[in-house]
Structure 1
Amino acid sequence: MDFIIKVRPNIVTGFDIGRSYEGRLIRGLKLSFKPGKKAIFIESNIHAREWITSAACTYLIMELLFSINPDVRELAESLDWWIVPVLNVDGFVYSHEKDRLWRKSRKPATSDCVGVDLNLKRCSDPSSNMYSGPSPESEPEIEQLTNFISNYIPKNSIKIYVALHSPLQAVHLPWSHTRVPPKDYENLLYVANAFAEALHTRYGTKYHCGSSATLLSRLFSGGSKDWAYGEKNIPIAYTIELPGKDRRNLFRKNRPTYRRLDWTFYPTLCEIYSWLDFIIKKCPRVVTGFDIGRSYEGRLIRGLKLSFKPGKKAIFIESNIHAREWITSAACTYLIMELLFSINPDVREMAESLDWWIIPILNVDGFVYSHEKERLWRKTRRPATDADCVGVDLNRNFNFKWELLKCTDPCSKVYSGPYPHSEPEVDQLTTFINNNIPEGSIKIYVALHSPAQAVLTPWTHTRVLPKSYGHLIYVANAFADALYRRYHTRYNCGNSANMMKMFSGGSKDWAFSVKRVPIAYTIELPGKGRGTPPFELPENEILRTSAEMLDGFIGMVKAVKELGYI
């Protein structure tokens, strides 16, 4: 889906309807070739084990976008297409990883029973495969789907609703709860037969058509098709049941799995995001997942909020704004792990004294590119408009003194972009902080970088020290001193402009000046030269570097408390 969003940005828009019980995003695509069209809505894999539905759904998306068949082109361009390939994301993952024939969601119903049939209201037994849940729309997946359709798609624009299922090889019309046909049954059956006859032409496959209550051996209520038809007044609403052949051996192929983070290797974006999902599931009372928006290439920029006690001041940490600085996201995830699970009293005191807002990877496009194509890539991946060069240095794109020392060469590794906040990653980060975190609550802002092994205070654009430099250097030294004790690693502390090259438009200076965060740093983690670029810190030093950084944060937070900021 990220690829599709990237290659067809003028046609395809990514959206999400919300998060599942286990915190996974429920994502979809909107395909719109021409403005002002009526819409079709397709949802798929509401039952976890019906894998053919999401596979066929993604094939449909590909054909709608790339087919040159005139009939397909006419079909594609005659409607706006809203498509959710996997609605039951938790159950879908579980069916891939644990139980191939799992059907329901994954929210515990009782101490012994898990899951709700998202497409049913008939069964009150939590142990049943068809348990309907305690109340209508009790499940977040259904509540968010109905809210999304009601609030984000123009009223009465949806003329076709399709729920993809398997394995009955049929087109089901309303109703499911009664055998009395709806008033416009003839129109519904006419369109259903048109679907079945067109499908039969290719391979001779026969689909049955009729009301669900007639075709199935049982009546039920609470299904999505009947809701769309009865509640939203969508004139054409079907459950389309794809075939099933009972070839169980087809599902026994070895499938790639993501490595569980253990800080002995540098994880990919997918591995980090999978780990974030695990953490959200593991600690739902403390951890909340969030995203600030999407990158230029359409990837979600995700983060976690850790809140142990209400009413605390906040720390905000952003990491991997420069793609090649892999140690930053590795150390950032280690910090999250320790904040949640460490029994060290100093860590517990630190963890519970603040709300933690953490984005492990801000430059997601560049990060993926550095893993897949060019290890030392630094910038984003948005092409410059007036040159054959790609990318902007996001840490030169913030709207504070941007114009003072901006780099205007699009081919430079430190290109500042055409104007402040020109890049979606920066624009969405600042918007998120402005709109979603209480004003004045952030007392510490940390931008994790490498490889200079230093704690850098404002400013970056001038060697003139800020008025509160005494407090800033005191806390910076507290970080460096606490870090030093474990392995005697020395971090230098001082004003960025004195210790590095001067530049403008950095995140730390924006946080310190524009948002008035009193303690704001760039913390540069180590890098080892030793015949290799300094950004390629060996994997066997990830744990050491991360553990030291944790010690540093303990010292930092203690010092900030001493100064009365928290």
Structure 2
Amino acid sequence: MREFDSYPTPEARERELADLVAKASATIPGTELIEYGRSVEHRPLHVVRVPSPAAGAVPRVLVCANTHGPEFIGNRVCVGMLAKLIEDPPPPLRRLHERAELWLAPCLNPDGYARTHALDGVGSLARLRHNHRGVDLNRNWPLPAGARRLPLPGAGSSTPGDATYRGPAPLSEPETAALDQLLTSQKFHASANLHSFMGTLFPPRVRTRADSLAYARLCEALRQAQPHTRYLRIASRVFDTFTGEQEDHQHHTHGCWSVCVECFSFRASLAQSFARRVPLFWRFNPRDPRPWVDNDVPAVAAFLLAALDLPPPVSPRASRTDP
């Protein structure tokens, strides 16, 4: 990806993360880089655990990114949380670390990242978005108990080759299966899943008014912490549907407050790509990720921090498979 100097190669991304963990461990004892699984092409799936200085047991929170191959800006925001925690954390991130153990998984789809990089960001959405087996990892999660998948655009396709192909079965992919094991073992209290590029917030599809109001407050805490671009929350208990996305599974199966954050705004994306022959990559990522890292790091921390003041969502720890 020769022209994309603001975004690291797959190898440089891994070195950067290891270097940041080594630097963090010097000031935050116990910080560690954990391999929680392997991708289809046997690349490591890494998560960083950053212990809290608080005494005794503390809740755990999780930030994930890059479940879709070309969405590099989410990776930059997730890595930026660790970098800013080491250097000069914004107040929401500092307070979050004081109260919770922070887990960071910057690249859930390293095969898709590597393919996007190798192709210089050129290709169809399906070509760049999927894992190595052509599966949209954010449609590969089980539906909540009693839910059904409606035949709507984007709701998860059963046709191989489609941009939202959900795979042969829920958790059929090593990337989602490994992450689900991590969710089960660590029992995270809250999570933010970083995507791009619509500048929007998608909480889970919830069934109660209480949960809907809770997510409205959590998303507003996120928005208020964004210094220059505030994202729009999109949610409806009436018109939303279950699609096999990660935040639905986390909320309903794992009892975890969760949100999808579409980093980078539609307006900014349009400004840099409209009427120009540019790779698909530039629809999803800003030329300079730094302003968006500065915008979104404190906001993600504010969402997670606000969630700590709530009890875990009450949901049955059960899910079903598609027929």
TM-score (norm 1): 0.47
Aligned partner of 2:211 among 462, 468, 474: 468
Distance 1:466 1:520 in 2: 16
Could you say which residue in structure 1 is the equivalent of 2:149?
Answer: 404
Q: CA deviation at 1:448?
A: 0.7
Alignment of 1:360-509 (within 5 A): 360-373=106-119, 375=121, 377-382=128-133, 391-401=134-144, 404-405=149-150, 406-435=156-185, 437=186, 439=187, 442-459=188-205, 467-483=210-226, 486-487=227-228, 489-495=229-235, 502-509=241-248
Name 2:259's counterpart in structure 1.
521
Residue 305 of structure 1, CA deviation: 0.6
8 Å CA contact retained: 2:51, 2:101: yes
Q: Determine if contact 2:67/2:109 at 8 Å carries over to the other structure.
A: yes
Distance of 1:380 and 1:498 partners within structure 2: 32
Cα distance change of structure 1 residues 267 and 465 upon mapping to structure 2, 3 Å threshold: farther
In structure 1, what residue type is equivalent to 2:233? C
CA distance in 2 between counterparts of 1:548 and 1:432 reads 28
In the alignment, is the contact (CA less than 8 A) between 1:322 and 1:363 conserved in 2?
yes
State whether structure 2 residue 283 is matched by structure 1 residue 535.
yes
Structure 1 Cα separation of the partners of residues 65 and 235 of structure 2:
20
Percent identity reads 22
Q: Distance in 2 between matches of 1:510 and 1:467?
A: 18
Contact in 1 for aligned 2:264/2:284 (Cα 8 Å): no
SS at the partner of 1:529? helix
- Provide the C-alpha distance between the structure 1 equivalents of 2:301 and 2:264, rounded to a whole number of angstroms: 18
- Map of 2:21 onto structure 1: 280
Change (3 A) 1:329 1:554: closer
Give the match's secondary structure for 2:213. Answer: helix
Alignment partner, residue 328 of structure 1: 74
Length, aligned pairs only: 282
Asked if structure 1 preserves the Cα contact closer than 8 Å seen for 2:195 and 2:261, the reply is yes
Q: Report how far residue 503 of structure 1 moved.
A: 4.9
| Alpha carbons of structure 1 residues 456 and 288: separation in structure 2 relative to 1, 3 Å | same
- Residues 266 and 539, structure 1, Cα contact 8 Å, conserved in 2: no
Larger Rg: 1
Q: Which moved more, 1:473-482 or 1:526-535?
A: 526-535
State the partner residue of 2:300: 553
Contact 1:465 1:495 in 2 (8 A): no
2:120 and 2:89 mapped to 1: Cα distance?
Answer: 39
1:455–1:480 Cα contact (<8 Å) kept: no
C-alpha deviation, 1:445, in angstroms: 1.4
Q: CA deviation at 1:276?
A: 1.7
Query: Residues 220-240 of structure 1: CA distance to partner in whole angstroms, max 9, x if unpaired?
Result: xxxxxxxxxxxxxxxxxxxxx
For residues 427-473 of structure 1, what are the alpha-carbon distances to aligned partners after superposition, in whole Å with 9 as ceiling and x for unaligned? 111012223x1x4xx111111111111111111xx8x6664111111
Q: CA RMSD in A?
A: 2.5
Kindly provide the amino acid, as one letter, of the partner of residue 304 in structure 1: V
C-alpha deviation, 1:538, in angstroms = 2.8
User: Following the alignment from structure 1 to structure 2, what is the Cα–Cα distance between the partners of residues 374 and 465?
Assistant: 44
8 Å CA contact 1:447, 1:522 repeated in 2: yes
The 3-state SS of whatever aligns with 1:469 is: helix
Offset at residue 266 of structure 1 (A): 0.9
In structure 2, relative to structure 1, the CA distance for the partners of 1:306 and 1:535 (3 Å cut) is: farther
Matched to 2:296, the amino acid is M
Counterpart residue identity of residue 223, structure 2: A
Structure-2 change in CA distance of 1:496 and 1:279 (3 Å): farther
Higher relative contact order (CA 8 A, sep 6+): 2
Moved more, 503-512 or 360-369: 503-512
Distance 2:44 2:142 in 1: 23
Matching residue's letter, 1:404: R
Distance 2:136 2:286 in 1: 25
Instruction: Report the alpha carbon displacement of residue 494 of structure 1 after superposing the two structures with TM.
Output: 3.1
Alpha-carbon contact 1:457-1:522 (below 8 Å) kept? yes
CA distance in 2, matches of 1:455, 1:380: 24
TM-score by length of 2: 0.80
Q: Is the 8 A contact 1:324 1:535 kept in 2?
A: no
In structure 1, C-alpha distance between the alignment counterparts of 2:160 and 2:88, rounded to whole Å: 45
Tell me the distance in 1 between the aligned counterparts of 2:21 and 2:198.
Answer: 32
The 1-side partners of 2:287 and 2:241 are apart by 31
SS state of the match for residue 408, structure 1?
Answer: coil
User: Displacement of 1:353 after TM fit?
Assistant: 1.5
Closer, same or farther: CA 481–426 of 1 in aligned 2, 3 Å: same
Q: Retained in 1: the 8 A contact 2:62–2:190?
A: yes
Within 5 A, what are the aligned runs for 1:223-238?
A: none
Kindly state the Cα deviation for residue 365 of structure 1 after the two structures are TM-superposed: 0.4
2:157 & 2:63 partners in 1: Cα distance? 25
